[in-house]
Amino acid sequence: MSVQMTARMTARTFEPPSLSANRLPSITVRRLEVFIVPLDDGTRAGYRVHLLLATDAGPLAAELALEAREKPADWVTWSYRLRKVVHTDCRDDIALERALGDRGSFHCRLVRAALQPFKDGQKPALLNTRATLIELASSYICLF
């Protein structure tokens, strides 16, 4: 007398979501412009640093305040650090930090502020027109 036993095993496979579903579309900076606008409201002195990015996703902009004591000796040399994001895929914070340094650095915060509406899926609002910034700016730098 022989006894036959059969076991049934079921296996389910789960397909991981594709990388493209989890990632933002690529965003490449084609050109960036930095406008340095002096800020002197009577109580404090400093600068408004305006960043305009021309990207393949459209124009993006940000502005941050820089205290007078943080003013670099040369704005061109200071802004040259931003060149590392030109022609770079900027959707990834890690890549930005690698290119611009510490997440808390002024350069990194400025670029991240410009990219944030894109990452949030919002339509970016340009803070000031380019023509207005050219009139107000004491320094202008363009990197492409």
The structure's pTM equals 0.76
Average pLDDT over residues 105-111: 90
The mean pLDDT of 74-86, rounded to a whole number, is: 90
Q: What is the DSSP string of 82-139?
A: GGGGBTSB-S-HHHHHHHH-STTSHHHHHHHHHHHHHHTTPPP--SS-HHHHHHH-SE
Q: Where are the domains of the chain?
A: 32-143
Residue-wise pLDDT tens digits, 4-44: 555 554 444 444 443 333 456 778 899 999 999 998 777 77
Q: Which CATH number fits domain 32-143: 3.40.109.10, 3.30.390.10, 3.40.640.10, 3.20.20.80?
A: 3.30.390.10
